[in-house]
């Protein structure tokens, strides 16, 4: 860690420690968090909104720096977690009274259709979960939280991770995001651990949540055509459509499939028997239901049920971010930066929904205050 980063972290820690001394009985003022694999800050932003102070995020991708630091009062540290050592984390935490280590190791092992490719990816990608566990074991923070894909629960690497939590009270399980007011059908594995007391995620009824629909989430945004952009918000930009895909989306109904189309519009690959199992591609969302899971390709009409419920286009990048529960003013683009669908789609699709971070923070604080 270079001297400039150390000075920034010292400043952030000093400012937050001064604040914590004003109310020594408030545990939320004592906790300092470092977010591993932080990306553009979905988990960080949620933890902050839930009452936990995040001092730094660590990620290998330098392109995440602007969005992370611009939207969160935290330092972005460009670092490969595989190369990160315990003493570096200890330096980052400084004299924090209580320490939380958080993260969502990338889950690409489960994101390919190819079993052959999946085996190859497993050889390298699982190392990130293992390295998270190594850093937990070597630094012994007061709290740990991890968010990941549900499939991880049945994998050996998760069992190994749990072994690194000896001495911690633990809770882990699969949550349905729609039950927590996230306008998206998304299932995630959440783990929380504490050295102070028992810990568990708060149930959905604690937050008095109701299902949030696509209509409630994004219907207020200005209308766009395919390829169009909102002059007041460059992130509210929709990808363009070919003439064929424009015909296809015009023939699509909310919640329907390409099976509803005239046969001349159906893609050749879907006419084959092997293609019959992908009915969601080229689909429109429904206004009065949650959206499908946001992916890194959520800006593309042909990549899933990512068609706008009413307008003849795919959802915009801003709409995707809102469905991931980023606030509408979350800034992903530096001044003058051009929109890159592939880059921004990756940022948004890979992010932990902000609301999950908020639920985790409130659960940790509530169960440790009881």
How many other C-beta atoms are found inside a 10 Å radius of the C-beta of residue 218? Answer: 24
- Exactly one of 107, 247, 298, 331 is catalytic; which is it? 107
Beta carbons of 189 and 174 less than 8 angstroms apart: yes
Q: Which residue has the tokens 């929904």?
A: 353
Token representation of residue 34: 């470092």
In whole angstroms, give the CA distance from residue 240 to residue 226. 5
Q: In what order do the strands lie in the sheet containing 31-36?
A: 75-78, 53-59, 31-36, 98-103, 143-148, 187-194, 169-176
In whole angstroms, give the CA distance from residue 26 to residue 343. 40
Q: Which residue has the tokens 């709290």?
A: 143
The one-character DSSP state at 242 is -
Length of the chain: 370
Strands of the chain, DSSP E: 31-36, 53-59, 75-78, 98-103, 143-148, 169-176, 187-194, 229-230, 233-237
For 247-257, give one letter per residue: b (16+ CB within 10 A) or e: bbbeebebebb
The three-class DSSP label of residue 125 is helix
Q: Which residue has the tokens 């169960």?
A: 367
Of the candidates 105, 33, 102, 103, the residue with the CA atom closest to the CA atom of residue 74: 33
How many other C-beta atoms are found inside a 10 Å radius of the C-beta of residue 341? Answer: 17
Question: Does residue 107 have an active-site annotation?
Answer: yes
CA 90 vs. chain centroid, Å, equals 25
The three-class DSSP label of residue 343 is helix
Which residues are the active-site residues?
107
């Amino acid at each position: 860690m270079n001297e400039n980063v150390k000075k920034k972290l010292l400043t952030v820690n000093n400012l937050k420690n001064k604040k914590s001394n004003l109310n020594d009985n408030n545990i939320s003022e004592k906790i300092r968090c470092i977010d591993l694999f932080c990306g553009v800050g979905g988990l960080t932003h949620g933890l902050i909104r839930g009452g936990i102070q995040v001092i730094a995020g660590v990620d290998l991708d330098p392109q995440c720096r602007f969005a992370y630091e611009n939207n969160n009062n935290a330092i972005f540290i460009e670092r490969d977690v595989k190369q990160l050592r315990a003493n570096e984390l200890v330096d980052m935490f400084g004299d924090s009274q209580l320490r939380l280590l958080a993260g969502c190791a990338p889950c690409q092992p489960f994101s390919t259709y190819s079993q052959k490719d999946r085996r190859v990816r497993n050889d390298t990608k699982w190392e990130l979960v293992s390295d998270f566990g190594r850093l937990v074991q070597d630094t012994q923070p007061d709290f740990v939280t991890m968010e990941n894909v549900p499939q991880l629960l049945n994998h050996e690497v998760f069992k190994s991770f749990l072994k690194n939590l000896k001495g911690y009270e633990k809770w882990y399980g699969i949550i349905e995001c729609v039950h927590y007011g996230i306008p998206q059908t998304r299932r995630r594995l959440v783990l929380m651990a504490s050295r102070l007391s028992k810990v568990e995620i708060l149930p959905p009824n604690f937050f008095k949540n109701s299902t949030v629909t696509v209509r409630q989430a994004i219907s207020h945004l200005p209308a766009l055509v395919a390829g169009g952009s909102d002059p007041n918000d460059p992130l509210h930009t929709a990808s363009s459509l070919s003439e064929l895909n424009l015909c296809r989306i015009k023939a699509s109904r909310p919640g329907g499939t390409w099976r509803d189309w005239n046969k001349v519009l159906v893609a050749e690959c879907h006419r084959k028997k092997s293609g019959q199992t992908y009915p969601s591609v080229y689909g429109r969302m429904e206004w009065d239901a949650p959206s499908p899971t946001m992916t890194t390709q959520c800006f593309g009409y042909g990549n899933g049920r990512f068609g706008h419920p009413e307008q003849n286009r795919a959802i915009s990048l801003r709409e995707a971010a809102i469905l991931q529960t980023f606030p509408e003013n979350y800034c992903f683009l530096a001044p003058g930066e051009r929109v890159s669908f592939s880059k921004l789609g990756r940022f948004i699709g890979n992010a932990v929904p902000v609301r999950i971070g908020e639920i985790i923070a409130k659960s940790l604080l509530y169960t440790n205050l009881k």
